[in-house]
Chain A
Amino acid sequence: MDVPHVEGRPVPAVSGRAVLEVSPLSGRSGIRARGEISAVTRPSWEEALSRLARQHTGVSYLELADVAFVDVAGVTALAVTAMGLGEGRVVVEHPPPQLPRVLEMFWPHLSQIEVTP
């Protein structure tokens, strides 16, 4: 389908079924995600967050520049994961616009998540 996309956001590689690829960051503790975070890809997103929480010490990074969309449940999974961390925080880099919007709406003062646009 020929669809104008929101400026600056990547268009997912597959036009039909949603995909989410997750890989570890090199040189830093955390993960890079690519694709979209929605009902279809939620299991792999939640699994990636569990892995991140298990390996977390101090500061973990989530690189989301190649994520085109995240839904409310995807942001919720992140917020709940961050709230469950014993110490430190998660730095979310270059998230899609829905992520800060949903955080502001439901968790406006969550100290365990730092968003860098």
Chain B
Amino acid sequence: MLAVEADRVWKYFGDYPALRGSSLQVPQGACMALLGRNGAGKTTLLRILANLSRATKGEVKIFGDASRGDVVRRKTGYLGHGIGVYDDLSAIENLLLFGRLLGVENPEKAAIEALERVGLERVKDGMAREFSRGMRQRLAVARAFLHQPELLLLDEPFTSLDDRAINVLQALLRDALSRGATIVMSTHQIREAMELATNVALLERGKIVHTGPQTPEMLADPGWLYRTYGDRQVQE
């Protein structure tokens, strides 16, 4: 079964087509790395998948559901460019709030466990605004994984993370994959992405020009994918 199915999705900002009939299929349990240069449309596509934006044309189905109701959204975790936590709430208050919004059965237990997973249990009562950048990023990771989502939509998840946060995130992503979760992540950091990715999609100027399984060439040479598929598309 497909976890994500985008069928000929178009998105216009005014007259500018940010997405031009992009189609993407992600099977359940796969880790799809969404690659592409700046302005290729990665964030726009991810925002449409996360129900943060509407496609101008085309259809998106998550777990076979085009209506994107609350049941589907409960299965989805989203980590965007911003950390998505409140500076004026403590770490535990942030996670309790999101636990309630996400419909977690026992928010207190889930929040404590999530803080333990990212190594923030000792500062659970500290205000997010008092945290260092790295701690805030780990809190954001704890928030995204709080409800053990079946689908993770991650927009540039490794960008500006410190080493510890990268290790925490990679461990959580591996754990999520091992329990059968699906991951779609946009990234510039091909090396970190390729360590986890099972599938790769390359976006060029709002179009998906290549999609397929990860290959040893991609792992050995991060530029290979762009040279082989991206540049060809540009020449055409």
User: Are A and B bound to each other?
Assistant: no
CB within 8 Å of B: which residues of A? none
CB within 8 Å of A: which residues of B? none
